[in-house]
Amino acid sequence: MSTKLLIIIISLLWPLLPLYAQLDAAARPDTIPPIVSDSLLELPLDSLPPAASTDSLPPQPDSLTVSLKAITYSKDSLDSPVQYNAQDSMIYDIAGQKIHLYGNASVSYSSINLKAGHIIFDWSSNIVKAEGMPDSLGRPSALPEFSDGSQNFTADSMRYDFVTRKGVVYDVTTQQNDVIVHGERSKFISNAARDTTEKSQDIIFSEGAIFTTCTHDEPHFGIRSRRQKVIPNKLVVVGPSNLEIMGVPTPLWLPFGFFPISSGRRTGLLFPSDYQYSPQWGFGLERIGWFFPLSEHFNLSLTGTAYIKGTWGLQASSQYKKRYKYSGGFDLGFDQRRSEDDEGVVTRPKSYRFTWSHRQERTAHPTNNFGGSINIQTNNYQSRVFNDAQNVLQNQLNSNLAFSKSWRDKPINLNASFSHNQNSATRKVTINFPNVKFQTQALYPFRQKERVGPKRWYEDITMRYQGEARNRFEATDTTLFTQKTLDDAQFGVQQSVSSGTSFKVLKYFNLNPGVNYSEVWYLKSLRKDFIPELNIDTMFNNGVETYDTLSYGMVNDTLIPGFKSYRQFSSSISLNTQIFGTLRFNRGRLLGVRHVIKPSLSFSYTPDYTNPSLGYTKSVQSTTDPEAFNDYSIFQGSIYGGPPQGGRQMALNYSLNNIFEAKFLSKKDSTEKKLKLFDNLVVNGNYNFAADSLNWSPVNVNGTTRLFKGMTTFSAQAQFDPYAAVQVGNSLRRINEFSWRRDGKLLRFVNANARFNTNITVGKIRALFMGEEEKVVEDPLETDNRQPEETDFLSLFENFRISHNLVLNWQGQADGRDTFFIQTHSINCQGNIQLTENWGVNIGNFGYDFVRKGLTYPSVGFSRNLHCWQMSINWQPTRGTYSFNIGVRPGSLDFLKVPYNRNNADARSQF
């Protein structure tokens, strides 16, 4: 009983010991107070006011009345309170001046937090020790977890000094960004333990450590070294180290290493994307360089590619963004690749690429806007450097960069732009720069500013002005940056003024008269010169020598500098209306069909610009007939072309647009739904009163509709001619004789074509056949992110896209027989197939051309998720290129990889 009583008394008196120690120290100022393990608030000695004294003597000083503020603390005392807690029990060792905390124990001091199954705190030395506790099965559990600010540790055991802020941890696991360090023994030094006059950082010294990006408890790979130094969020420095895979050392050793682990944007080395060997180029590195964060809104990456046999390239790429202002990026590339043909001739063709995209936010400026994209390359850069289907099959490049300015209080706007069109198959490049356009909105010159009386019909007359100046360069991609391209540049200015109005006639008709005047200026004009030169072909027929004159000379084209201009005038008047017809049904789901007809008649007049007095047209002698002369326009091939060469036009134009719609009841909720049967079906043509023959133009018919809820677009076009035709060589020529008189047909069939374009995903096919209601697909290539409720075979193809193109052609002949052929028939698919959680298939492009009877550049890839590693295989059989790569997943150690591939230069040498 005495032992239990003693324990109870100690437990009751223990909280009073710190107070007693401080009061005793106050009574003896020469004594340094002991360091306590707990924090106390500054309390008054007595809560009751002192009683009135009845003694005439003055009060004597009492040590108990000394204020706690006068206490002098030791320099070794802690500057913050220590908080501790335990879920199971706390044992106080008074003799040893220690506290034992058991079961989910925790100790907190300043920014330091420690959790463990068992914690021992020594308040005499301010050292804390922590270790785990075995669970019911004897396995280690509740291992120490230490955190100091952003630093976190998990260890088997550890000890830490709160005063020096130094600690030693055993079997520690810590993480710096994505790098995980497993150390046998580590020493941690906080930045507060060193000189605070300099900007210091935490440092971790480790022995027998391995660092990795693998998150598994037993890392699948890592770099093991005897000694390591880790500066959190900055750098890992290692001595002699060895790469281990699955715990097995490899022959790969490093004498030392520096591995940056900085968070955020920092300047530093960009490791090569690939380490290559090519029989044509030798050993090389792909895209090794340096990263520069030039400012808060702008960064720059400079990389290079180099092979020992002379193939090399440079790339500069940048991204920039300023919130609420603008964003974009550019990429500049140069490439020189060594190529050797079968005869051993070595060439090193050069190619360039420049891409830039810029987007201005709407909130950046109310009236100014600047944005667009540029994509220019020379010598098939992207096809030479890359092997994926998107870069190889893309043969049309376009650019459009524009600045626009409008004025809030004025009906005018200004536009300056750069445009570019390039075909990598023909290698033809066309650049329009600068292209400046100034135009007005609709102006009402006769409208009253302050209305007096009813509005007059002439107040709706509008006027518009448009002026444009354009400079054009035409060249091939290999001669684009040459002096000849600059010398052959063309410049032109076009101005036009138009006026028109619209008003009702007979209540249901719209009458729209209008006139237009335009003027074009050029600084160069065309002159054709005939150069006599007989070209005679000698033949022998039955021993008789005969001669055939193939040509009497040649025509030489010359651009003559000098100001030239032409002017055009045209007028027109049109009449249009709309006619509605509805057919209703009283039975079934089909409620009715509506037919909308939009007829239009117009009359236009254009003068004869081939009149020699105008000087727009000249003639040159024919090369095949010495008595004949051919007319040509001196503005032929210019930016805006020249005036019409068809003579005077007084044409009556007719057009008939038909729209067919249906209304039906939905299967699900019996609500009314609309369906467009034909978006449009247009019939048009004209009659020229000024022509001396062939007054009627061919009749054109075209229409468009969408099928299968918008997944397939069908368009058709046909042409019929009221006149007969005769065969001249390989072509047909119209004659001034109606077809119904010669062949008994009202209209002669000329040609027709039908196009079916289908762009769908497998998810949309499932929705279609399951009978789900779906809106018309505005963008068929948009990724469908919906996941199926149940996993089935089709769910593997949810992110798969299929495109099918079919073009049918019919061509009429003079004898009445039609020729039919399939112009285009191809099917292509692209997308990803996730076979399992770790296996995936990537189809960059896979299709079949039924016309050419061959595959259309298949590009297939496989990927395997290996936890902290990844493997990928890509193959382009048409080119003979492939790549195999197994390496660490993207992160601080992703330079650890084993690439193997064959480029297009090596593939060509194999054939």
Q: Say yes or no to pLDDT of 475 above 50.
A: yes
Closest CA to 861 of 871, 847, 851: 871
pTM for the whole structure: 0.73
Question: Model confidence at 562, in pLDDT bands (50, 70, 90)?
Answer: very high
**Contact criterion met (CB below 8 Å) for 761 and 788:** no
Q: Between 193 and 800, where is the model more confident?
A: 800
- The more confidently predicted of residues 236 and 69 is 236
pLDDT at 373: 95
Tell me how crowded residue 799 is: count the other CB atoms within 10 A of its CB: 16
- Check pLDDT > 90 for residue 573: yes
pLDDT at 70: 53
Please give the Cα distance from 809 to 761 (Å, whole number).
Answer: 28
Widest CA span in the chain: 166
Spatial separation of the C-alpha atoms in residues 290 and 820, rounded to whole Å? 60
Is 90 exceeded by the pLDDT of residue 412? yes
183 Cβ partners below 8 Å, 6+ apart? 169, 171, 172, 173, 174, 206, 207, 208, 209, 210, 228
Least confident of 58-67, 157-166, 298-307, 698-707: 58-67
With cut-offs at 50, 70 and 90, classify the pLDDT of residue 403: very high
- Compute CA distances 281 → 277, 336, 350, 873, 880, whole Å: 7, 11, 15, 22, 17
What average pLDDT does range 193-202 have in this prediction? Answer: 51
Mean pLDDT on 60-78:
53
Structure tokens at 339: 């190529």
pLDDT in tens, 832-882: 888 888 999 999 889 999 999 988 889 999 999 999 999 999 999 988 899
Q: What is the pLDDT of residue 196?
A: 44
Q: CA nearest 364: which of 329, 321, 332? A: 321
pLDDT at 720 over 90: yes
HSE, CB side, 13 Å, CA atoms: give it for residue 193: 17
198: left (phi over 0), alpha (psi -120 to 50) or beta: beta
Average of per-residue pLDDT across 292-300:
91
Alpha carbon distances (Å) from 88 to 7, 117, 367, 816: 18, 10, 71, 103
**Highest mean pLDDT, choosing among 170-179, 332-341, 686-695:** 686-695
Higher pLDDT, 41 or 532: 532
Average pLDDT taken over every residue of the chain: 83
Q: What CA–CA distance (Å, rounded) separates 576 from 599?
A: 6
| Nearest by Cα to 397 from 412, 383, 377, 414 | 377
Give tens-digit pLDDT for 25-48.
444 444 333 333 343 333 443 444
pLDDT of residue 415: 96
Highest mean pLDDT among 238-242, 440-444, 741-745: 440-444
Main-chain phi, psi angles of 481, to 5 degrees: -100, 60
Beta strands in 798-880 (DSSP E): 800-812, 818-833, 839-849, 854-855, 859-866, 869-876
Residue bearing tokens 């140069």: 334
Q: Is the pLDDT of residue 65 over 70?
A: no
> How far is residue 774's CA from residue 218's CA, in Å, rounded to a whole number?
50
d(CA 235, CA 253): 20
Q: Is 328 helix (H, G, I), strand (E, B) or coil?
A: strand
| pLDDT in the model for residue 594 | 94
Whether residue 899 has pLDDT greater than 50: yes
Residue 15 has pLDDT above 80, yes or no: no
> Residue 270: what pLDDT?
86
User: Can you tell me the distance from the alpha carbon of 646 to that of 631, in angstroms, rounded to the nearest whole number?
Assistant: 12
pLDDT at residue 313 in the model:
94
Split at pLDDT 50, 70, 90, the class of 647 is confident
| Six token digits for residue 232 | 């959190």
> How far apart, in whole angstroms, are the C-alpha atoms of residue 111 and residue 202?
14
**Cα–Cα distance measured from residue 848 to residue 803, given in angstroms and rounded to the nearest whole number:** 11
Tell me how long the chain is: 911
Burial 18-51, CB ≥16 within 10 A → b, else e: beeebbebbeeeeeebbbbbeeeeeeeeeeeeee
What are residue 24's phi and psi, to 5 degrees?
-65, -35
d(CA 237, CA 211): 11
d(CA 760, CA 800): 9
- Residue range 406-415: mean pLDDT, rounded: 92
The whole-angstrom separation of Cα 132 and Cα 831 is 50
Residue 255 CB: number of other CB atoms within 10 A?
A: 8
DSSP string, 436-458: EEEEE--B-TT--SS--SSPPGG
Measured from the Cβ of residue 780, the count of other Cβ atoms closer than 10 Å reads 19
DSSP summary character for residue 740 = H
Q: Choose among 224, 131, 152: nearest CA to 184.
A: 224
pLDDT of 169 > 50? The answer is yes
Residue scoring higher pLDDT (47 or 247): 247
At 544 the pLDDT is 65
Q: So what's the pLDDT on residue 784?
A: 45
Q: 758 CB contacts (<8 Å, ≥6 apart)?
A: 708, 711, 712, 713, 802, 803, 804, 805
Contact 23, 34 (CB under 8 A): no
Count how many Cα atoms sit within 13 Å of the Cα of residue 794 in the half-sphere of its side chain: 15
Rg (CA), the chain: 44
> Which range, of 35-49, 262-276, 540-554, 773-787, averages the lowest pLDDT?
35-49
Run of H or E residues at 764: helix 762-769
Measured CA to CA, the distance from residue 733 to residue 737 in angstroms comes to: 12
- Among 173-182, 219-228, 290-299, 539-548, which stretch is predicted with the lowest mean pLDDT? 539-548
Query: How does DSSP assign 478-510, residue by residue?
Result: TSTTSHHHHHT-EEEEEEEEEEE--EEETTTEE
User: What are all long-range contacts of 191-200, with beta carbons under 8 Å and residues at least 24 apart?
Assistant: 192/165, 193/164, 193/165, 193/166
Distance CA 200, CA 202 (A): 7
- Tell me the average pLDDT across 901-910: 78
User: pLDDT digit string (tens) for 203-240?
Assistant: 888 888 898 999 998 899 999 988 888 887 777 888 88
Spatial distance between the Cα atoms of 739 and 745, rounded to a whole number of angstroms? 6
Q: What confidence score (pLDDT) does residue 894 get?
A: 86
Tokens 């591939």, residue located: 901
